[in-house]
Amino acid sequence: MLKWVFLLILALVVRTQAAADQEVSLFQQGLQDFRGKSYDQSIARFTQALSEQKILKDYILLYRAQAFIALKRWNEAQKDLQDINNVDSHFKLILDSRLFLAQVFFELKRPAEVKPLFTKLLRKVRHTEDEPKVLFMMAKSDRLAGTGKGCKYLLQLYKKFPDDPSVQHWDADLDKNEFLGSPTECKYDLDDFRERMRALLWGGLDN
């Protein structure tokens, strides 16, 4: 009896390993197709990979969503990205999925749904390279949704991240600098300007 149980367990282990190997292989092929801009083919590979062991499920969903985005299939991209948000994923993976999801919501003319994606994440990304990306998305959400000017977030970009590509073209007058094609009209004071100058000096961008 124990012999048959052992053989059954061994067969299950072998089958599971084979499924995992197939998933990895399909993911790698899909990734190669994606990088070669063969988006339809990559979607087919990723979809097939999702029918296997699902060890790489979150990563497959993220790349399949990006392929959908490249093809402007916004609703399908939204579903994949929200599926990532519904599982216990790595923080960086969740953040990336929400940055892409924000892009999708903007394309779908649903800017009010963007800001809630980042409200709880803002604290976690403070003092990281991802903070300016989140600040920019939250400011854009406020502006396009008509819920405010986003000045709370634009001020942080102005004084803490003057070298970020999204605001690198700004000068000292925050209120006159353009955001989404219009002046920010955001208030700032001398202390804010001084903090901006310190950031510029620290980054060697004052020349």
Please report which confidence band the pLDDT of residue 68 belongs to, taking 50, 70 and 90 as the band edges: very high
Q: Global pTM?
A: 0.84
Residue-wise pLDDT for 141-156, tens only, equals 999 999 999 999 999 9
DSSP state of 128: S
Contact 72, 42 (CB under 8 A): no
Return the closest-CA partner of residue 121 out of 142, 99, 145: 99
Q: Picking from 81-85, 97-101, 106-110, 128-132, which range would have the lowest pLDDT averaged per residue?
A: 81-85
Contact 40, 71 (CB under 8 A): yes
- CA atoms of 62 and 82, how far apart (whole Å): 10
Residue-level pLDDT at 21:
76
Tell me the β-bridge partners of 178: 183
Residue-level pLDDT at 87:
54
Q: What is the mean pLDDT of the chain?
A: 87
Residue-wise pLDDT for 103-124, tens only, equals 999 999 999 999 999 998 999 9
